Chain A
């Protein structure tokens, strides 16, 4: 019964109808997000227009951290229970997390120059984000060099070791003296970003999340087809 339900969910997930729905939602949120962040949202009292880089930088960082955490949790299932489906899900999630990590680093650099006065600083927050990037790279690399069975174990170990870095990234700005400012949005306290600037931030986060979901569904679909036609891999 349970396997029947998961099969049903799987067919809906990989259907082109569902993908198109995600794509349309992505376009809607992206256009709303861009309009909000470039036109409607106000300038910052201190940084003026450069604050708008935040609407790309912060969502990218969130998404890359979120995807890495999901991959690590799924990898626990892969290592402990040898769940084959989790392997395919993690593998399909990784590329978008990697790209958003890269976007976070690059936009951070572009934002750093006009505000801090430097492109790069060996600051704990920035360095730990670079470490996350290296872990993503290792994860993807392991799928390129090892055969399927080995790669699923090795990549899972890479991701669960790398997840130790996630709380370090989160709390780096509280534990050490950093050039990077502390977080503005916390679960337990009121945000220190004005509400007119939170709207574009959340819209862009939704847009990036939908984009990741779209890429994930396409990759996942390919992986499932590969499993179905095992011989096709070798051609």
Chain B
């Protein structure tokens, strides 16, 4: 139907795209640990190696877990399977609340205790007026 030139061009473009897409896929797969923005408590507890460098832990702030003491904030990050205790001193974002998403950046002391030096709030994809939220309760 098409000329030989056109067919050759199509084959060339398809091979270029496949090669690059495949390379990107392999690189992203190999670097998956670095591509993710944070790890869940379960992933941290399951990893056997001793993590010394700065990492991010993310999940939900456990209900009734926030406590304040001497300008230090204690709270628990949970993914509903495993939990990690977090200590942090500094200011938290406005959306930092119990039962809402959180990402903590810092150093893991042991499998259970995390010294955070930065707290980020993670919100979900639901947006609604306050009245609607009230009526859902």
User: Residues of A at under 8 Å CB distance from B?
Assistant: 42-47, 51, 54, 76, 79-81, 114-118, 121-124, 157, 160-161, 164, 168, 176-179, 181-184, 192-194, 196-197
Mask, B94-108, CB within 8 Å of A = 1, is 111000100100000
Which of B94, B118, B127 is in CB contact (< 8 Å) with A197?
Answer: B127
Stretch with Cβ within 8 A of A (4 or more), from B10-18, B47-55, B62-70, B109-117: B10-18
Known: A117-B120, A177-B38. A80 touches B10 (CB 8 A): yes
Contact B6 A116 (CB under 8 A): no
Interface set, chain B 63-101, CB cutoff 8 A to A: 92-96, 100
Known: A79-B9, A117-B121. A45 touches B129 (CB 8 A): yes
Apart from A42-B131, A194-B128, what 20 extra A-B contacts exist at CB < 8 Å? A44-B128, A44-B129, A45-B132, A46-B95, A46-B123, A76-B13, A115-B95, A117-B95, A157-B16, A160-B17, A161-B17, A164-B17, A177-B40, A179-B37, A179-B103, A181-B124, A182-B124, A184-B125, A196-B129, A197-B129
Closest partner residue, chain A, to B21 (CB atom): A164
Contact B36 A176 (CB under 8 A): yes
Closest partner residue, chain A, to B7 (CB atom): A80
Query: How many angstroms from the CA of A79 to the CA of B124 in the assembled complex?
Result: 42
Contact B37 A117 (CB under 8 A): no
Contact A181 B122 (CB under 8 A): yes
B contact residues around A123 at 8 Å (CB): 37
Most buried by B among A46, A54, A123, A124: A46
Mask, B9-42, CB within 8 Å of A = 1, is 1100100110011001000100010011111100
Closest partner residue, chain B, to A183 (CB atom): B125
B contact residues around A118 at 8 Å (CB): 118, 120
Closest partner residue, chain B, to A127 (CB atom): B35
A contact residues around B95 at 8 Å (CB): 46-47, 115-117
Closest partner residue, chain B, to A125 (CB atom): B37
Known: A47-B123, A164-B21, A181-B122. A115 touches B36 (CB 8 A): no
Query: How many angstroms from the CA of A57 to the CA of B132 in the assembled complex?
Result: 24
Most buried by B among A54, A181, A184: A181
Contact B37 A121 (CB under 8 A): yes
Closest partner residue, chain B, to A201 (CB atom): B127
Query: How many angstroms from the CA of A51 to the CA of B126 in the assembled complex?
Result: 11
Which of B37, B96, B132 is in CB contact (< 8 Å) with A176?
Answer: B37
B contact residues around A47 at 8 Å (CB): 95, 123, 127
B contact residues around A176 at 8 Å (CB): 32, 35-37
In the assembled complex, B119 has its CB within 8 A of some CB on chain A: yes
B contact residues around A51 at 8 Å (CB): 127
B contact residues around A182 at 8 Å (CB): 124-125
For the complex of A and B, the 10 pairs showing the least CB-CB separation, nearest first, are A117-B93, A42-B129, A45-B133, A194-B128, A184-B125, A177-B36, A45-B130, A193-B127, A123-B37, A181-B125
